[in-house]
Chain A
Amino acid sequence: MTLSNSPHASAPPPASSPEPVTREASGNKRSAWSMAQEERFFLILAVFIGLFSGLAVVCFRLAIEWSKIGLLGPRLEPHNWRLLAAPTLVGLLISVLVIYIFPQVRGSGVNQTKAALYIYNGYIPFRTAIGKFICAALAIGSGQSLGPEDPSLQIGASLASALGRRLELSREKLRLLAPVGAAAGLAAAFNAPISAVLFVIEEVIGRWSAGILGSVVLSAVSSVVVVRWFLGSEPLFRIPAVALVRPAELVAYVVLGIVGGFAAVIFAKSIGYFRPRLRALPRWTQYLQPALAGFLIGLIGFFGAPQIMGAGYEYMDQAMHDQFTWKILALLAGLKIIATTLSFVSGTPGGMFAPTLFVGAMLGGAVGGVEHILSPHLTGSTGTYALVGMGVLFAGFLRAPMTSVFMVLEVSGNYSIIVPVILANTFAYVISRSLQPTPIFDLLTRQDGMDLPSMEEQREESILRVEDAMQAVTSPVLNAEEPVEQALHRVQSLDADLFLVRMSPSGWSSVSRDLLKRLASEGKGELSLGSALPTGRLPYLHPDLPLEVALRHVYQSPLVPVVSRADFRHLEGVISRDAVLNKYRVVSRERRD
């Protein structure tokens, strides 16, 4: 599905929108300001969006660190009373903020950005960015099991939207700005521009388009530059030495993919099951839910597993360097799923990326540890399995297969790991898709009563092509050099009324039997068809083009030639309006059945 074809694309902004989305006048003045200039300006704007998003994410990360040190202390240690008090009290504060001041900051932020793109014409209130910033920083800093990436994505999108509105951009451009800002925010949070660009294209926009790709890349790169400028270029993790010595070891990664797939399903199903039930509880419980979730998470930390609190990047790093035994790793993976489910279903603002990576790293390390015990000759370190595990959960839980592969490559900077990553991710993705047909982001949007386009469904949708509705040529094809009289003679005995004419030196036209007769009666029988027919040419199609393209042309001409891409004069078939509509009817009947 393309943006312009979206059923929601041209919908008006919601009645509750406090600011106008755009001025209609801007559309009328396009003649004064050329499209090319606008494109160039849009690219420059993307750089600024990247810079501002990067700055916002830097502040966001500082805020998280400050709140963490202030609330939990500089070191997370079990049996520290702050582990219980901080998430509980901050949970109460967050519920008040979310209910009274920032009602749109619940959840991760990915779906809100998609909703802005598909429903609200790119409109995200600036207040959302502020609310997300404050609430997510407090939540993550107090130990709620959530990550900063998705909120960063939403903050970036929100800043971009605000800038676009301030500049009174056209509605079309305004819609494109949200993903540009989203990519910048995510890239800054991850310190990984390629993964951010891919995620936004894979999960938010859902299509590769040269027009937007340039802007998304520019914004992502500029935001990463800003973050590295202020916070350094150190990667999120120290990556262990990675090497695949024997291809037979791939089997071990397949096992990891299978285990990861099941874990991703459990994770997604828990969130999918508890979230609507908690939201259906009486309104007064909404005040207590984040606090109760915080208390339960604090209990886990208090009684020995403070690693599951917060984003947990430092512990992923430790898992990658054999810091924990496989039993501890497995325990941490399980507890993190519980803790993240609690945090997320309680409506606490925060992201799911970091917890997903945490669960993946711990699970990968645990599976790697068990495999090492069962098969001591395996050469891959536990850290390698932890690294691959991160990609596995990303593919299985967030269902972004391309991003999952590139994220591991970008984070590790080691391309020798690509085969295990692809293999394990594929298994996890396939298992997750079979057991949990609706991806987590789509599930959440449906629970929220929205119907945003599912990128996974779009990716897997079979595309109807011209060749599917094309018909064989049964009538003779006339040549432009042929005299009118001769052509009339050739078609006289045939049933068809319309005939294609191969023009010289190229192009196609058509002529009806009646027109041939009229030309002959007007004394033009000796003239060639090329000179007698009107100068207009017929559009032509190629067999591989989407059927949607044909639909645009079959209304202009009852018969459209379908020609070879190698030789435009070679006719492969013809397509008519009836054939196209008939094909759509057949397919929709098949889908219904």
Chain B
Amino acid sequence: MNSARLKPLVHRPSVVIAGLTVIAILAFVSVGRLASRFREQQKALARRLYARGLDEQRSGHSDLAIEDFRTALGYNRDEFQYQLSLARALRDTGRTDEAEAYLVSLWERAPQDGAVNLALGRLAAREGTIDKAIQYYHNAIYGVWGPNQDANRRNARFELIDFLLGKGARPQAEAELITLAAELPPDPALELRAAQLLIRAQDYERALKQYQKILQREPSSTVALAGAGEAAFRLGRYRAACAYLRTAAASNPQDAQTQQLLETCNLILQADPSRRGLSNAERRRRLRAAFDQAGQRLASCASSQAARAADPSVGAALASLKSDWMRLKPRVEASATTVRADTADTAMDLVFQIEQQTQQQCGPPAGLDQALLLLSQVRGGVDR
């Protein structure tokens, strides 16, 4: 052995550093392989558990699915989809705080991801935080999606509108609806969905146009007919509404809402004394029927108010209408064949006043009273 070899290693730093570097590289490679094998094994295990979780979720066992997703995530913490599925399952089972923690951590990783933003939007919507929900929904609408980007963005906007309407934010919902309608592809299902939202947003004019657009392509679409009928009805276009509703009810007699609207619509058409083409006798009959109906409504409302000992001013208003009604009654009943035009106008004005006043005091009317009340809102009559 020579003297250089006897020299302690510590006195040969370059040799030591070189040696340690080589050992470190070798150790890195070995541990890297080991870690890689470990990761693969963990990923395979995670995939198995994730698939099981999806099955459990599909079969309605969300709690078991959560456990599987959670365990899968424990084995593969970086997997975006596992975390998203877990967050969704947690949200669906009402564990919103935990779901939010997962989603926020996903959002921090990918703030542009449409699915994450949509999930956060839904969560915020569930919690009722409007501003946050709108922000996340907008992120989702303009975010990045994988395949079916347009459809996903559109669905996000549909959900946002639905949420806004649910929260009574009509102006914002209308603004979103206008954008949505402009971007809609020619797909009747989507157009129908948009039209239904327009009805909910009380934008009946646009809704009617949307339904008419659908009917041009699919004239027998019962849903579109019913929707168009409702939109026309809300706009006070009762003749058109009745036509749509009649066709819709004929194709789908089970649709109770359409049937009810049709009945009201028919009542309106049958009750309107100012409708064109009526004989004098029919016009007089309708006027008398309306006048009598209003008198009965006024009497029943006044007696219910008296029984409840309501505000004296209300009683006075009803009494004044009663006195007007009593004063006009002889003139309405005087002629056996015709009614003077000015008497008819005065009588119908009083009928409308009574229906509006009693609606305020005694709640919404039904049957002929409802028809008269709706007529009062389109003073020109159904032929306007």
Contact = CB atoms under 8 A, between A and B. Distances in A.
Contacts of A167: 8-10, 16
A18 B112 CA distance: 61
A381 B98 CA distance: 11
Nearest to B48: A74
Contacts of A241: 101, 104
Interface stretch (B29-37, B54-62, B160-168): B29-37
Interface string B1-37: 0000000111101001100100010011001101100
B9 A52 contact: no
Contacts of B9: 166-168
B340 interface: no
B78 interface: yes
A166 B19 CA distance: 12
Contact of B35 (A52, A231, A383): A231
Contacts of A323: 95, 98
A33 B24 contact: no
A74 B71 contact: yes
A499 interface: no
Contact of A75 (B32, B71, B105): B71
Interface string B120-135: 0000000000000000
B49 interface: yes
A241 B98 CA distance: 11
Contacts of A238: 101-102, 105
Interface in B68-119: 68, 70-71, 74-75, 77-78, 95, 97-98, 101-102, 104-105
B71 A55 contact: no
A232 B32 CA distance: 12
Contacts of B70: 314, 318
A146 interface: no
Interface string A145-182: 00000000000000000000011111000000000000
A326 to B, nearest CB: 15
A74 B67 CA distance: 12
A52 B102 contact: no
B11 A33 contact: yes
B101 A321 contact: yes
Contacts of B45: 69, 74
Nearest to A168: B8
A238 B77 CA distance: 11
The A interface, classified by DSSP as helix, strand, loop or mixed, is helix
Contact of B32 (A32, A230, A322): A230
A386 B343 CA distance: 81
B370 to A, nearest CB: 47
Contact of A314 (B13, B17, B74, B101): B74
B28 A37 contact: no
Contacts of B68: 75
Nearest to A26: B8
Given A52-B27, A55-B31, A322 B97 contact: yes
Contacts of A62: 34-35, 38
B35 A41 contact: no
Contacts of B78: 232, 234
A170 B9 CA distance: 12
A230 B31 contact: yes
A381 B102 contact: no
Interface in B219-265: none
Contacts of B16: 41, 45, 167
Kindly name the residue among A25, A26, A33, A318 whose own CB sees the greatest number of chain B CB atoms within 10 A: A33
B191 to A, nearest CB: 42
Kindly name the residue among B9, B32, B34 whose own CB sees the greatest number of chain A CB atoms within 10 A: B34
A236 to B, nearest CB: 11
A108 B13 CA distance: 34
Kindly name the residue among A166, A231, A238, A241 whose own CB sees the greatest number of chain B CB atoms within 10 A: A238
Given A32-B11, A65-B38, A234-B77, 15 more contacts: A23-B8, A26-B8, A33-B11, A45-B16, A51-B27, A55-B31, A62-B34, A62-B35, A62-B38, A166-B9, A238-B102, A322-B95, A322-B97, A322-B98, A381-B97
27 contacts: A23-B8, A41-B10, A45-B16, A51-B24, A55-B28, A58-B31, A59-B34, A65-B38, A65-B42, A69-B45, A74-B49, A75-B49, A75-B68, A75-B71, A167-B8, A167-B10, A167-B16, A168-B9, A169-B10, A230-B35, A234-B77, A241-B104, A318-B70, A321-B97, A321-B101, A322-B95, A383-B97
Interface of A: 23, 25-26, 29, 32-33, 37-38, 41, 44-45, 48, 51-52, 55, 58-59, 62, 65-66, 69, 74-75, 166-170, 230-232, 234, 238, 240-241, 314, 318, 321-323, 381, 383
